[in-house]
Structure 1
Amino acid sequence: MIRYAFSIAAAAVLMAPITANAQQVEISANGPVIELSVFESVTAEPDLVTIGAGVTSQAKTAVEAMRMNARQMQIVVDRIKALGVPDKDIQTTGINLNAQYDYDRENQRQVFRGYQVSNRVSVKLRDVQATGAVLDALVVAGATDLSGPSFSIEDDTEAKNIARERAIEAAQIRANAYAKLFDYGGIKVLSISETLRNAGPSTRSAGFASIAEDAAPSAPVQPGQVSTGVSLSIKYEMVRSSE
């Protein structure tokens, strides 16, 4: 069940006529102008979860570290695919190679230790309830670094449409209230600008270091709800009679 909540962030009444420009179209106002900023959000259950999985490897040489990491990461990627995740939902987000040093306090100098390679992928899961089991499986496959999960709505078009309708309704009610206070009969829209608020993912750290093969129940994951919405800035002219 979709729930919504809205709040009017700001309102200003300009008691002098103005000229508004939008896409080279000039709109003149003969009466006072009201400018309202309205935000409307809609909450819904997420249907998409994004997690990050990575492998970090260390070796004496850069070549050895890269090769070791490639083998380990391939096992993790193969495991992700075996869980039913298609190629299009698996994306490499970073491969890093860095020299590692230890500090020799006695001689006060850096001592070369070897190389460290990290490789990370971002994975989209469309079965939200399977998130915990997938995280466990990735660690068993050799993943040494997990992040997320990050929950979102894959297609929030309908939710944004609801938020937009509610925002306009709220703005009109407030604008008409201003018009009534100043003894005007109605309002006329002069301009509208919109800012979209994407479905805000709630992010939690997976918080795993290692999991044994025979580990019992998967890590509990609560998807909760996420919100998406629109912010509108609307200018109305107060008129003597409804038009």
Structure 2
Amino acid sequence: MKIRLAYVFSALMLAGTVAAQSLPASPYVVVRGHAERSLAPDRFEVGITVQKSSLSTAEASAVVEQKTGEIVGNLKAAGLKPAQITATNISINPEYRYDNTTQRNVFIGNQVTRNIAAKFNDKKSLQKFLAQVPAGEEIRVSGISPSLSSQKAVEAELLDAAVVDVKKQAETLLGKFGLKIIGIHSISQDAPSIGFEAKAMYRSMDVAAAPPPPLGDTLEEGQIMVSKDVYVVYLIAAK
């Protein structure tokens, strides 16, 4: 997995060019270091809602409990441990329909609901479960959220790479103008406030995940882009 560095020289400004409290009065340069990596997710969380409406609360509750038990059983059969399965308590809410004739809300029954969240450590287990989801209008699969088990480790590596990138860019570009770094005013992962024209340039790009993939046998997990930015305000002078 190759780290791809985006080289961006953010701004080269002498004192007085831009008025901002966060920037020094002496000559300075603002440089952004950037590193990113595209990875295939290895964790998948799926949400399932079991819901039934009926005038009989007992009937609706029985259906929801039966369907929930079936789904949990399928999750365990797919290899999930109890810690990977979360089910909310049963909730019951009245349902009404607006009657245009009487201009009143008319009670039509109670809606009984339970929500289930399941975390899969591989795509095959997820596909096995999806193939066994019980059919019926009472069950809704809300989608899949991909993630990385190595997210924190990757972010730490990218932060190190961004630090290397920002120093390299500053030294290379300042050298072309006969300038040198004499100190550091500030270091941040957030862009300094240097005026409205820079807000779009410095927008945060901490983690950009691919949209949830479709369900089914042709499940494709896509890619997750992880990136880190470092902004350094260097104090500068002529060589």
TM-score (norm 2): 0.75
Which residue pairs with 1:221 in the alignment?
Answer: 219
What residue is the counterpart of 1:44 in the other structure? 39
| Partners of 2:78 and 2:136 in 1: CA distance | 12
How far is 1:51 from its partner? 0.8
Counterpart residue number, 2:152? 157
CA separation in 2, counterparts of 1:225 and 1:39? 19
Per-residue CA deviations over 1:89-144 (Å, capped at 9, x if unaligned) read: 11236754322223444444333211112211211100123322221212359971
| SS of 1:237 mapped into structure 2 | strand
Assess, with a 3 A threshold, how the Cα gap between structure 1 residues 142 and 99 changes in structure 2: closer, same or farther: closer
Query: For residue 56 of structure 1, what is the amino acid of its counterpart?
Result: Q
- Structure 1: which amino acid aligns with 2:231? S
- The letter for the 1-side match of 2:222 is G
Flag structure 1 segments of 5+ consecutive residues without an equivalent: 23-28, 207-217
2:96 equivalent in structure 1:
101
Name the structure 1 match of 2:83. Answer: 88
CA shift in 2, pair 1:121/1:201, >3 Å: farther
User: 1:42–1:162: 8 Å Cα contact kept in structure 2?
Assistant: no
Whether contact under 8 Å (1:152, 1:201) holds in the other structure is no
Matches of 1:12 and 1:120, distance apart in 2: 50
> In 1, are the aligned partners of 2:213 and 2:222 still within 8 Å (CA)?
no
Number of equivalenced pairs: 221
The Cα shift of 1:47 comes to 0.9
In the TM superposition, what are the counterparts of 1:145-184 in structure 2 within 5 Å?
A: 145-184=140-179
Q: CA deviation at 1:158?
A: 3.6
After superposition, give the CA deviation of every residue in 1:12-33 in whole Å (9 maximum; x if it has no partner): 334239xxxx9xxxxxx89622
- Is the 8 Å Cα contact of residues 79 and 125 (structure 2) preserved in structure 1? no
Secondary structure, in 3 states, of the residue corresponding to 1:84? coil
Distance 2:123 2:130 in 1: 12
More strand by share: 1
Question: Do residues 66 (structure 1) and 61 (structure 2) align?
Answer: yes
2:122 is aligned to 127
Q: 1:94–1:121: 8 Å Cα contact kept in structure 2?
A: no
Give the deviation of 1:147 after TM superposition.
Answer: 2.0
Q: Is the 8 A contact 2:188 2:232 kept in 1?
A: yes
- Write the mapping of 1:180-195 to structure 2, written as runs, cut at 5 A: 180-186=175-181, 188-194=183-189
Q: What percentage of aligned pairs have identical amino acids?
A: 21
CA RMSD of aligned residues (A): 3.4
Structure 1 residues 204 and 147 mapped into 2: Cα distance closer, same or farther (>3 Å)? farther
Match of 2:231 in 1: 233
Q: Which consecutive residues of structure 2, in runs of 5 or more, have no partner in the other structure?
A: 17-21, 191-204
Structure 1 39/67 Cα, relative in aligned 2: closer, same or farther at 3 Å? farther
Q: Within the alignment, does 1:78 sit opposite 2:73 as a pair?
A: yes
Query: In the alignment, residue 235 of structure 1 is paired with which amino acid?
Result: V
Q: Distance in 2 between matches of 1:112 and 1:9?
A: 62
The match for 1:55 is 50
Looking at structure 1, the residues matched to 207 and 181 of structure 2 have their Cα atoms a distance apart, in angstroms, of 33
Cα deviation 1:29-73 (Å, max 9, x = unaligned): 896221223442211121111111121112214454334322321
Separation (CA, whole Å) in 1 of partners of 2:87 and 2:184 = 47
Answer yes or no: is the 8 Å Cα contact 1:58–1:116 preserved in 2: yes
Partner Cα distance (1:116, 1:45) in 2: 39
Q: Which residue of 2 aligns with 1:11?
A: 10
Deviation at 1:6, TM superposition (A): 4.1
Q: 2:166·2:231 contact (CA, 8 Å) conserved in 1? A: no
What TM-score results when the alignment is normalised by the length of structure 1?
0.74
